[in-house]
A and B are shown apart, each in its own frame.
Chain A
Amino acid sequence: MAQITIKGVKKNYAKTAVIHGVDVTIEAGEFVVILGPSGCGKSTLLRMIAGLEEISGGEIAIGGKVVNDLEPRERGCAMVFQNYALYPHMTVRQNIGYSLKVAKVAKAARDARVMKVAQAVSLEPYLDRRPGELSGGQRQRVAMARAMVREPKVFLFDEPFSNLDAKLRVAMRAEVRRLHRDLGVTSVFVTHDQTEAMTLADKLIIMNAGKVEQIGKPTEVYNNPASRFVADFIGSPAMNLFEGEFDAEGQFVHGTGGRMNVSQLNGVRQPGRKVVLGVRPEGVRRTGADTHGAIPAVVDYVEELGASRLIHADANGSRIVALDNDTSEIKSGTPVHLSLADSALHLFSLEDGRRISH
């Protein structure tokens, strides 16, 4: 267990900067997920913690000790790779025990420790097989056992489940969660899958284009996105985002002149201010035409989800998605009226995408 402090960390490849100064503190024993679209620098950051990538600027400390110039093996991190990276010519037992063999641990002690971790991830029946004879899920468990056997201070996961099928992924997620609970080792997990991130994380770090967009608990990030990017990235179906401005009466004007009554955003409704208004589909409800502030729209198509459905509609040139629990048939082209739930509105600056608190 160790705290990880990342201070102003930068990464440049030749002259291109891929990470522009990241500051994060990961508490001892915490499970942190770094989430972001591909190419945002999340794996690079993880690899810098591991020591596989040089740090171009700033400082990374593990357990209070600056590790910038330490070799991977001296940092006390273990890593689980996306493609498992098992040694194909070694048996499962040898794969798991390799780090101990390199560290010159006596054979008896080595076997005992391999056995112990193999039990923890239920691999005992496969100890004498080679990676080629195992399924994807089993291989990933070997990779995890290999990381665990060193009893590291920090676990690093680099998109470990992206090669597994959906069902297995859910099972492995539960397994990782359980292992973290049992071992309590500080863990950093990189993924581009937001469901994975939301379910695993104690703390989420959302990255975009080499910068940290937001750090917080999953619910916090979901309920209070710090920027337009986070609002758009987190949540499925994605948040409705309307670009527009306030008119003289404080109404929100969007699309081809559609108006929304957003009286709850009192205080930030300066006329002419250009903003992005965000509301999650579950904050949009169908309503009667006579409701105050109802937004007229035309149904484009309906996505059936089983228990509920998503209505994709067009409101004065703006696309709007509503989560609807009504099951009565609704055809495309039908006019509907929608209203926005009071508490669910998010406002972002159009200029820099940062949140405008209200």
Chain B
Amino acid sequence: MIERSPFFDALTYAVMIIGLILVIIPFWVVIVAASQSLQEVSQVPISLLPSNQLWTNLSEAWARADLGPKMINSFIVAIGVTVGKITLAAMSAFAIVFFNFKARMICFWLIFITLMLPLEVRIVPTYAIAANALLPFQTILDVTGLTWLVQAVSGIQVSLNWNLLNSYTGLILPLVATATGTFLYRQFFMTIPDELAEASKMDGASAMEFFWDVLIPLSRTNMLALATIMFVGSWNQYLWPLLITTDRANFGTVVMQLKALIPAMNGTPDWNVTMAGALIIMLPPLLVVAFMQRWFVRGLISRDK
């Protein structure tokens, strides 16, 4: 519905501007605080004008939280999750939409159910699996009596163990396994006319050639939109990395390090350094969104075909 009257114009502008201010103010406070000295930031009320200590605070935060290696960790995790998720999503949606196999609906519903079980809900079992990714197989072997059989025959005690704690695999995999991307892809693939798949069959293309040569190029905007969401989402992960990494020095991510920058109970209240750290840490997702937003919007709302 498009209503055009001066009153509605004014109203929509007012709503938009209020919304903008609400969104901008926290950012502004972060930037301002990050540029002030300890004295300035400790004043009550805080001045809302930036000062000249930005560079000092940034380097202080960078050094204190060891952000260099942590940035690399965060990038590895965010990119790993993004790539893994897109690959998984595209391929599973491809299977569900274009292949007519018996268990198709079962697979579809199994994937669908994971939507209702975000990581936070299944965090304990997920941790158990991460502690030993082969645990389910071990259980199957134990229950079916195969462990006993193998031991009786060869004298070897079967004990499968694959520890994912404190590893990139452990940081990435559990975040990859959710259904949102699959659904976005499924919706997109369903808009592809059957004739296109048939034409490629007549052209002699195999299913995978159809996937690579037709579906993937056609889903480019879709893919970039998903990549944006996934990158930002996994960059901002706090709970899972915190849980799975005890070896902070080697596998900590920047968002975890932000906690380390928050002044301790009776320590120096240097919030300016904390804010400078926050500024650094939020920069990569901000840049990704700024760079991708054109495709992002296109991929989510319209289909250019």
Contact = CB atoms under 8 A, between A and B. Distances in A.
Interface string A77-88: 111011101111
Contacts of A78: 202
Contact of A85 (B199, B206, B209, B305): B199
Given A81-B195, A102-B209, A88 B305 contact: yes
Contacts of A98: 200, 203, 205, 213
B202 to A, nearest CB: 5
Nearest to A86: B199
Contacts of B199: 79, 81, 85-87, 146
Contacts of B205: 73, 98-99, 102
Contacts of A102: 203-206, 209, 213
A73 B218 contact: no
A85 B195 contact: yes
A78 B199 CA distance: 9
A88 B218 CA distance: 8
Given A98-B213, A102-B209, A85 B204 contact: no
A73 B209 CA distance: 13
B203 A81 contact: no
Interface string B217-253: 1100000000000000000000000000000000000
B202 A132 contact: no
Contact of B195 (A71, A83, A150): A83
Contacts, number: 61
B201 A85 contact: no
Contacts of A88: 218, 305
Contacts of B209: 102
B214 interface: yes
Q: Which of B200, B204, B205, B217 has the most CB of A within 10 A?
A: B204
A73 B202 contact: yes
A89 B218 contact: yes
B201 A81 contact: no
A174 interface: no
B213 A132 contact: no
Contacts of A85: 193, 195-196, 198-199
Q: Which of B193, B209, B213, B218 has the most CB of A within 10 A?
A: B213
Interface of A: 50-52, 71-73, 77-79, 81-83, 85-89, 98-99, 102-103, 132, 146, 150
